[in-house]
Structure 1
Amino acid sequence: MPLPTSRRLALLTSASLALLAGCGSSSDSAAAQSTPARVAVVASTDVYGDIVRRVGGDRVDVTSVISDPGQDPHSYEADPQNQLALSKAEVVVENGGGYDDFVDRMLKGGHNDSAQVIDAVKVSGKTAPKGGELNEHVWYDFPTVAKVVDRIAAALTKADPSDAGAFTKNAAAFQAKLAPLEAKEARIKKEHGGAGVAITEPVPLYMTEASGLINRTPAEFSEAIEEGDDVSPRILQENLALFSGRKVQALVCNEQTSGPQTVKTEAAAKAAGIPVVPVTETLPKGKDYLGWMTANVDALAGALAK
């Protein structure tokens, strides 16, 4: 008995759809195979996340754990979303030196034991001075950043050998743009070398030291501010005297941390007519690493020229 017309049409339609679906699956599969997956990278902060993007281009998928200026890497506790990203990462970039220990805690917790881990402090080769503490803010040290860029390119190449040429080219282009920053520091050193500056935290010290400037802030003051501890009245007065006695030509302050002692310090600088140069630990909104550091060095030069 012949099938009704509607039934025959339904069967034909189903067969046609199945055929099209089969063709689509084959095409999609081929397209997926022709487009390699991006290298998954987790960076502890958006500073390193931006640098990875400059080296990796469109061949990387970067997650920056800390990208909010209000987050403190020293005390940050990663959430499940961060842990998931880290578990899938092929490359991990951290600052190290005790700055972003949450990354090491997650790695040691078994979230990923196969990722290539780049520790910027270890790459820098810097160690604590005798009787002192390590300044872990190595992203303010341009020679260290150049070394980290090389490590990033090597790690991405290992994860994705087919794009090695692009990674190497991008790394070289980034490093070439670091050279003008070092030249600006050298110019400051030539024009203002030996000048005294004050800081609220050790964040900018690699930049000020490369510029030939002398940090006159009592170590007890900047260390206490960095650790969130109280400053003794004696040390606070010693610090404030830097401005009333005009022993420094600029105050370079971390504007991401504020408290009564830093407020008094900034007020003392302004009252004495000493320029204040604000810096940050993470990328300001709308800035990339190179633009951010260019603005920092230019602001320092401008303050010293006043």
Structure 2
Amino acid sequence: MPVSRRLALPALVAVSALGLAACGDGGADAAAGQAGDSGDAAITIVTSTNVYGGIAAAVGGDDVEVTSIVDSLSQDPHSYEPTVQDKLSVSEADLVIENGGGYDAFLGRLADETGVGTVLNAVEVSGLDEHAGEEPAGDEHADEEHAGEEHAHGSFNEHVWYDLAAMATLADAVADELARLDGPNADAYRQRADAFIEDLQPVQERLAALASENAAKDVEIAVTEPVPAYLLEAAGLEDVTPEGFIEAIEEESDVPVAALEEMKTLVSGGGLAFLAYNGQTEGAQTEAVRSVAEEADLPVVEFTETLPDGEDYVSWMAGNTDSIEAALGS
């Protein structure tokens, strides 16, 4: 592999000491700062969010040192403004991991500005967007923030970390890239990636069972933002959120009055299984929709864009699946 390029491989992720207290599943026991106990220099990894940080820690173990830029539920990855320290961290990284698809364009800009050697893109490795690898005309990474808008607000959902199969593929690619960077520990990276993938399988099996149960029922749900769409689809659920509502939320603009009223009518009408709610980027209009749902006794299932404190990726997705099952059974 050439050293200076973006790779269509899974994004390796950084874990900050605050963002992940532990990463138990998949063999990841090390938090940031514990890498390199053997005395050898650890591979340094910077990622956009602690979701990818958790996966990086699971695969890299004590042989890597990871830093997640967005590592708190109080931060909105869409609008994050990087700091001088973030730029310094990226400049010193052996590997940078971005989500891509216009989601975390700040990290791509930092990578370009600092000339970091290798950048992994999770959207590209997922294979979920056939156009993800296409660069805009002109400068290789010019206007990257706007280049992703076609995906973010069109038919493609850039929140690929909610697709468990994609994250299994990501773990494979992370192991391959770490093996390239650190050949002596290649077997350890492969073993930890295999363990992570094995830990994901029971969650995938539960989702498949839900999909089978829901196949003949036409179970409908609505979302305040399509962040968990891949997970909901895997459970066999149909998203019937009004298009005008979702478009406005994704564009971070006010929802038109008619679309907001349509959404409120939908959640109060008694035909939905639950409302999927992203509290990490909530606003007055999504809060209003939630209030209507609660008044109608419609279950509200919380989803986030970053790992909650104390969770690793596998336990987080297992917990999300628990919440879906509970809402469907209520």
TM-score with structure 2 setting the length: 0.79
Give SS of 1:74's match: helix
1:172-191 to 2 correspondence within 5 Å? 172-191=194-213
Q: Separation in 1 of the partners of 2:229 and 2:176? A: 29
Shift of 1:61: 0.5
1:97-116 to 2 correspondence within 5 Å? 97-109=101-113, 111-114=114-117, 116=118
Indicate the residue corresponding to 1:201 in structure 2. 225
Question: Which of 240, 255, 258 is 1:231 aligned to?
Answer: 255
Relative to structure 2, which stretch is displaced further, 171-180 or 83-92? 83-92
Q: Separation in 2 of the partners of 1:85 and 1:263? A: 36
Give SS of 1:274's match: coil
Question: Which of 281, 291, 294 is 2:315 aligned to?
Answer: 291
Contact 2:268 2:298 survives alignment (8 Å): no
Give SS of 1:270's match: helix
1:1-306 to 2 correspondence within 5 Å? 35-109=39-113, 111-114=114-117, 116-127=118-129, 132-193=154-215, 194-306=218-330
Q: Separation in 2 of the partners of 1:208 and 1:69? A: 21
Which amino acid in 1 is paired with 2:208?
Answer: A
Contact 2:90 2:116 survives alignment (8 Å): no
When the two chains are superposed, the root-mean-square deviation of aligned CA atoms in Å is 1.6
Asked which structure has the greater CA Rg, the reply is: 1
Contact 2:222 2:274 survives alignment (8 Å): yes
Q: Separation in 1 of the partners of 2:203 and 2:51? A: 16
Which amino acid in 1 is paired with 2:115?
Answer: N
1:156-180 deviation line (CA, Å, top 9, x unaligned): 1111100001000000000011111
Shift of 1:217: 0.4
Q: Separation in 1 of the partners of 2:282 and 2:169? A: 32
Q: Separation in 1 of the partners of 2:243 and 2:159? A: 16
Shift of 1:133: 3.5
Shift of 1:265: 1.0
Q: Separation in 1 of the partners of 2:234 and 2:128? A: 15
Q: Separation in 2 of the partners of 1:124 and 1:93? A: 13
Give SS of 1:299's match: helix
Give SS of 2:47's match: strand
Contact 2:264 2:292 survives alignment (8 Å): yes
Indicate the residue corresponding to 2:135 in structure 1. none
Q: Kindly, what percent of the aligned residue pairs are identical? A: 44
Instruction: Give ranges in structure 2 of 5+ residues lacking alignment.
Output: 1-35, 130-149
Q: Separation in 2 of the partners of 1:94 and 1:44? A: 6
Q: Separation in 1 of the partners of 2:201 and 2:243? A: 31
Which amino acid in 1 is paired with 2:303?
Answer: V
Shift of 1:113: 3.6
Shift of 1:213: 0.6
Relative to structure 2, which stretch is displaced further, 244-253 or 197-206? 244-253
Contact 1:118 1:151 survives alignment (8 Å): no
Q: Separation in 2 of the partners of 1:69 and 1:226? A: 19
Give the aligned length. 271
Give SS of 2:260's match: helix
Shift of 1:105: 0.6
Which amino acid in 2 is paired with 1:47?
Answer: V
Shift of 1:239: 0.7
Instruction: Give ranges in structure 1 of 5+ residues lacking alignment.
Output: 1-31
Task: Name the structure where helix makes up a greater proportion of residues.
Answer: 1
1:190-209 deviation line (CA, Å, top 9, x unaligned): 22232000100010100111
Give SS of 2:77's match: coil
